[in-house]
Structure 1
Amino acid sequence: MKKSIIILSLLATALSGFSQTVDDALRYSQQFYEGTARYMAMGGAFGALGSDFSVASTNPAGMGIFRSSVMSITPEVSSFRTASTYNGTYAEDSRSIFNLGNLGYVQTTKLSSSGWKYFQFGMGMNRLNNYNSNQYMRGENLENSRLDIYQQQADGVGYQYVGDLQGDYAFDLAPAWDIYLIDTVPGFTDYYYTPVPFAGTLQEQTIRTKGSTNEWLMSFSGNYSDKLFIGATVGMPYIRYMRETLYAESDVADTIPYFNSWSVRENLNTTGWGINLKLGIIYQAAPWLRLGAAFHTPTYYWNMRDSWYTTYYADLEWTPATSKSSITGNYQYRFSSPMRFIGDAAILINKFGSISGEYEYVDFADARFSARDYGFNDVNTSIRNSYQSTHNLRVGTEWRYGQISFRAGYRLSTSPYSKNLNDGKRQAASGGIGLNFGKASIDFAYVRSWSNEDYYMYSSETIQPNAVQKVFTAQQFALTLKTRL
Structure 2
Amino acid sequence: MNQMKRSIIILSLAAFFFSANSQTVDDALRYSQQFYEGTARNMAMGGAFGALGADFSTASTNPAGMGLYRSSELIITPEVSSLLTKSTYNNSYTEDSKSIFNLANFGYVQTSKISNTGWKYFQFGMGMNRLNNYNTNQYMRGENLENSRLDIYAQDADGINYSVIDNSNNYPFDLYPAWYTYLIDTVPGYTDLYYTPVPFAGTMQEQSIRSTGSTNEWLFSFSGNYSDKLFVGATIGLPYIRFKRETFYKESDVADTIPWFNDWSVKENLVTTGWGINLKVGFIYQPVKWVRIGGAIHTPTYYWSLNDSWYTTHRADLEWDASSYTSVTGKYQYRLSTPMRVIGDAAFIIQRVGLLSFEYEYVDYSTTKFSASDFGFNDVNSGIRSSYKSTHNFRVGGEYRLGQASLRAGYNYYTSPYANNLNDGERMTISGGIGYNFGSASIDFAYVRSLTDEDYYMYSSETIQPNAVQNTFRGQLFALSLKTKF
Indicate the residue corresponding to 1:109 in structure 2: 112
Alignment of 1:349-428 (within 5 A): 349-420=350-421, 423-428=424-429
Indicate the residue corresponding to 1:38 in structure 2: 41
Indicate the residue corresponding to 1:22 in structure 2: 25
Question: Which whole-Å CA distance do the structure 2 matches of 1:13 and 1:322 have between them?
Answer: 26
Deviation at 1:193, TM superposition (A): 1.2
Indicate the residue corresponding to 1:7 in structure 2: 6
Deviation at 1:422, TM superposition (A): 6.0
Structure 1 residues 54 and 145, CA, compared in 2 at 3 Å: closer, same or farther?
same
2:214 paired residue among 191, 200, 212: 212
Question: Amino acid of the residue matched to residue 184 of structure 2?
Answer: I
Q: Would you say the 8 A contact 1:231–1:280 is kept in 2?
A: yes
Indicate the residue corresponding to 2:244 in structure 1: 242
Indicate the residue corresponding to 2:298 in structure 1: 296
Question: Which whole-Å CA distance do the structure 1 matches of 2:193 and 2:376 have between them?
Answer: 32
Runs of 4+ deviating beyond 6 Å: none
Indicate the residue corresponding to 1:87 in structure 2: 90
Structure 1 residues 242 and 445, CA, compared in 2 at 3 Å: closer, same or farther?
same
Structure 1 residues 4 and 452, CA, compared in 2 at 3 Å: closer, same or farther?
farther
Q: Would you say the 8 A contact 1:119–1:222 is kept in 2?
A: yes
Deviation at 1:421, TM superposition (A): 7.0
SS in 1 for 2:7: helix
Question: Amino acid of the residue matched to residue 382 of structure 2?
Answer: T
Indicate the residue corresponding to 2:314 in structure 1: 312
SS in 2 for 1:423: coil
Question: Which whole-Å CA distance do the structure 2 matches of 1:304 and 1:109 have between them?
Answer: 38
Deviation at 1:81, TM superposition (A): 1.0
Indicate the residue corresponding to 1:58 in structure 2: 61
Deviation at 1:155, TM superposition (A): 1.1
Q: Would you say the 8 A contact 1:163–1:175 is kept in 2?
A: no
Q: Would you say the 8 A contact 1:335–1:370 is kept in 2?
A: yes
Q: Would you say the 8 A contact 1:454–1:468 is kept in 2?
A: yes
What is the percentage of aligned positions where both structures have the same residue?
70
Question: Which whole-Å CA distance do the structure 2 matches of 1:220 and 1:452 have between them?
Answer: 38
Deviation at 1:19, TM superposition (A): 2.4
Question: Amino acid of the residue matched to residue 6 of structure 1?
Answer: K
SS in 1 for 2:236: strand
Indicate the residue corresponding to 2:269 in structure 1: 267
Deviation at 1:187, TM superposition (A): 1.7
Q: Would you say the 8 A contact 1:431–1:447 is kept in 2?
A: yes
Q: Would you say the 8 A contact 1:5–1:422 is kept in 2?
A: no
Question: Amino acid of the residue matched to residue 194 of structure 2?
Answer: Y
Larger mean CA deviation between 3-12 and 131-140 belongs to 3-12
Q: Would you say the 8 A contact 1:4–1:422 is kept in 2?
A: no
2:140 paired residue among 123, 133, 137: 137
String of CA shifts for 1:333-376, please: whole Å, max 9, x gaps: 00000000000000001122000000000100110000001120
Q: Would you say the 8 A contact 2:4–2:419 is kept in 1?
A: no
Question: Amino acid of the residue matched to residue 64 of structure 1?
Answer: G
Indicate the residue corresponding to 1:163 in structure 2: 166
Question: Which whole-Å CA distance do the structure 1 matches of 2:73 and 2:278 have between them?
Answer: 24
Q: Would you say the 8 A contact 2:3–2:420 is kept in 1?
A: no
SS in 2 for 1:5: helix
RMSD between superposed Cα atoms in Å: 1.0
Question: Amino acid of the residue matched to residue 250 of structure 2?
Answer: A
Q: Would you say the 8 A contact 2:41–2:444 is kept in 1?
A: yes
TM-score by length of structure 2 reads 0.98
String of CA shifts for 1:299-338, please: whole Å, max 9, x gaps: 000001101000000010111x221011111000000000
Indicate the residue corresponding to 2:256 in structure 1: 254
Question: Amino acid of the residue matched to residue 137 of structure 2?
Answer: N
Question: Which whole-Å CA distance do the structure 1 matches of 2:228 and 2:352 have between them?
Answer: 16
String of CA shifts for 1:424-472, please: whole Å, max 9, x gaps: 1100000000011111111000000011011100001001100100001
Question: Amino acid of the residue matched to residue 274 of structure 1?
Answer: G
Question: Amino acid of the residue matched to residue 362 of structure 1?
Answer: V
Q: In the alignment, does 2:81 pair up with 1:78? A: yes
Indicate the residue corresponding to 1:146 in structure 2: 149
Question: Amino acid of the residue matched to residue 226 of structure 1?
Answer: D
Q: Which runs of 5+ in 1 are unaligned?
A: none
Structure 1 residues 30 and 64, CA, compared in 2 at 3 Å: closer, same or farther?
same
Q: In the alignment, does 2:277 pair up with 1:278? A: no
String of CA shifts for 1:89-138, please: whole Å, max 9, x gaps: 00010000000000100000011111111000000000000000000000
SS in 2 for 1:412: strand
1:173 paired residue among 172, 175, 179: 175
Deviation at 1:174, TM superposition (A): 0.5
Indicate the residue corresponding to 1:462 in structure 2: 463
Indicate the residue corresponding to 2:194 in structure 1: 192
Question: Amino acid of the residue matched to residue 71 of structure 1?
Answer: L
Q: In the alignment, does 2:123 pair up with 1:124? A: no
Deviation at 1:160, TM superposition (A): 1.3
Deviation at 1:149, TM superposition (A): 0.6
String of CA shifts for 1:266-310, please: whole Å, max 9, x gaps: 000001100000000000021110000000000000001101000
Question: Which whole-Å CA distance do the structure 1 matches of 2:441 and 2:190 have between them?
Answer: 78
String of CA shifts for 1:13-66, please: whole Å, max 9, x gaps: 323425211101111100000000000000000000000000000000000000
Q: Would you say the 8 A contact 1:178–1:324 is kept in 2?
A: yes
Question: Which whole-Å CA distance do the structure 2 matches of 1:13 and 1:357 have between them?
Answer: 38
Instruction: Give aligned pairs, total.
Output: 482
Indicate the residue corresponding to 2:230 in structure 1: 228
Q: Would you say the 8 A contact 1:209–1:243 is kept in 2?
A: yes
Q: Would you say the 8 A contact 1:166–1:327 is kept in 2?
A: no
Question: Which whole-Å CA distance do the structure 2 matches of 1:422 and 1:455 have between them?
Answer: 14
1:201 paired residue among 200, 203, 216: 203
Question: Amino acid of the residue matched to residue 271 of structure 1?
Answer: T
Structure 1 residues 175 and 422, CA, compared in 2 at 3 Å: closer, same or farther?
farther
Question: Amino acid of the residue matched to residue 472 of structure 2?
Answer: V
Deviation at 1:419, TM superposition (A): 2.5
Q: Would you say the 8 A contact 1:250–1:262 is kept in 2?
A: yes
Question: Which whole-Å CA distance do the structure 2 matches of 1:80 and 1:7 have between them?
Answer: 26
Q: Which runs of 5+ in 2 are unaligned?
A: none
Deviation at 1:7, TM superposition (A): 2.2
Question: Which whole-Å CA distance do the structure 1 matches of 2:300 and 2:419 have between them?
Answer: 21
Question: Which whole-Å CA distance do the structure 2 matches of 1:173 and 1:198 have between them?
Answer: 20
SS in 2 for 1:47: coil
Question: Amino acid of the residue matched to residue 348 of structure 1?
Answer: I
Question: Which whole-Å CA distance do the structure 1 matches of 2:340 and 2:166 have between them?
Answer: 44
Question: Amino acid of the residue matched to residue 20 of structure 1?
Answer: Q
Deviation at 1:4, TM superposition (A): 5.8
